[in-house]
Chains A and B, each alone.
Chain A
């Protein structure tokens, strides 16, 4: 058992499952948006703005945004803990890894708040 405190759910199977569930959400959202753009009769500002005025679309968008953040965290955490380690870069790697993880966390929080502001601000 390897103990980690910065992985998303602290458990391997949780992270694995969460990454797959969020991937399905993102696929559904992408297909919906692409479908809406190509198959709506009068695609333009009016229809786009009407779509995002609806509560369910805002919720769906927020779920997609939070899925992106969770998915990205799990994926990038794997990348960072593969390549930015004491084994590959020496003892300074721990500081660098913590800084990168903090930056990623800050970006995640900023995007979440900014996304809510955009979705409910118009």
Chain B
């Protein structure tokens, strides 16, 4: 039997959050954490969590799984509960709406700040704006982000200053557009980042790299942004 402990909070009825324990029969299968949640919800329909694609593409079911942020749909029990105990909490640092559902507003607000779209002030060509294979390669490891927020909510700098520090997810996307040969707003983008909070609250502890379910490296991208700021300033 698998022991499952889940963070429960319904602001309409509960004064404070609490941990609810469930017993779950895996029938010897190495299920994904999301499967366990779905089957528990069939028994207890009040249990709330987000999910959509259930295959690690949409980024809806980011949560804290036995102390480590990850996607419930791609985390097997053998990894999350090797000793038969699974602990599920919402992503840390963000306000809880209900149970495992968090308010992502602060996260999206930071994403919005970096203007996550291509900006080009030259006349639009008749065909697509072309890129050399080498320039296209520079975007690998950046464009794959699914905005699940596992990285930013694992970052202490984001916990303390979610209104000022862009956070690893936003900065990875900031670099995705800084590195894009078709984007002409590089200087404006860098000017918007050159303050003591937006980029420089990153102290390189690499929690983001450690938890990213897509295996991306925001710390490296932040290093590139820092080098671009430095090259421009000295």
Residues of A at under 8 Å CB distance from B? 1-4, 7, 10-17, 77-78, 81-83, 85, 87-88
Q: A17: which B residues are within 8 A, CB to CB?
A: 230, 233-234
- Assembly CA distance A77 to B194 (angstroms): 17
Q: Is there contact, CB below 8 Å, between A13 and B226?
A: yes
Q: Is there contact, CB below 8 Å, between A82 and B160?
A: yes
Q: Is there contact, CB below 8 Å, between A11 and B194?
A: yes
Q: Is there contact, CB below 8 Å, between A1 and B195?
A: yes
Q: Is there contact, CB below 8 Å, between A13 and B198?
A: no
Shortest distance in angstroms between A70's beta carbon and chain B's nearest beta carbon? 14
Q: A15: which B residues are within 8 A, CB to CB?
A: 196, 200
Residue-wise interface mask of B (148-168) relative to A, using a CB-CB cutoff of 8 A (1 in contact, 0 not) = 000000001100111110000
Known: A1-B192, A81-B161. A11 touches B233 (CB 8 A): yes
- Assembly CA distance A10 to B199 (angstroms): 14
Known: A12-B199, A17-B230. A87 touches B160 (CB 8 A): yes
Majority-rule SS of A interface residues: helix
Q: Is there contact, CB below 8 Å, between A4 and B195?
A: yes
- Assembly CA distance A17 to B201 (angstroms): 14
- Assembly CA distance A81 to B233 (angstroms): 24
Q: B164: which A residues are within 8 A, CB to CB?
A: 2
User: Is B229 an interface residue when CB atoms closer than 8 A count as contact?
Assistant: yes
Q: Which of B154-208 contact A (CB under 8 A)?
A: 156-157, 160-164, 191-201
Q: Is there contact, CB below 8 Å, between B197 and A85?
A: no
- Assembly CA distance A81 to B165 (angstroms): 12
- Assembly CA distance A81 to B157 (angstroms): 10
Residue-wise interface mask of B (63-91) relative to A, using a CB-CB cutoff of 8 A (1 in contact, 0 not) = 00000000000000000000000000000
Shortest distance in angstroms between B170's beta carbon and chain A's nearest beta carbon? 13
Known: A82-B157, A83-B160, A85-B160. A14 touches B233 (CB 8 A): yes
Chain B residue nearest to A3 in the complex (CB)? B195
Q: B162: which A residues are within 8 A, CB to CB?
A: 87
- Assembly CA distance A17 to B227 (angstroms): 11
- Assembly CA distance A14 to B234 (angstroms): 9
Q: Is there contact, CB below 8 Å, between A12 and B198?
A: yes
Shortest distance in angstroms between A104's beta carbon and chain B's nearest beta carbon? 16
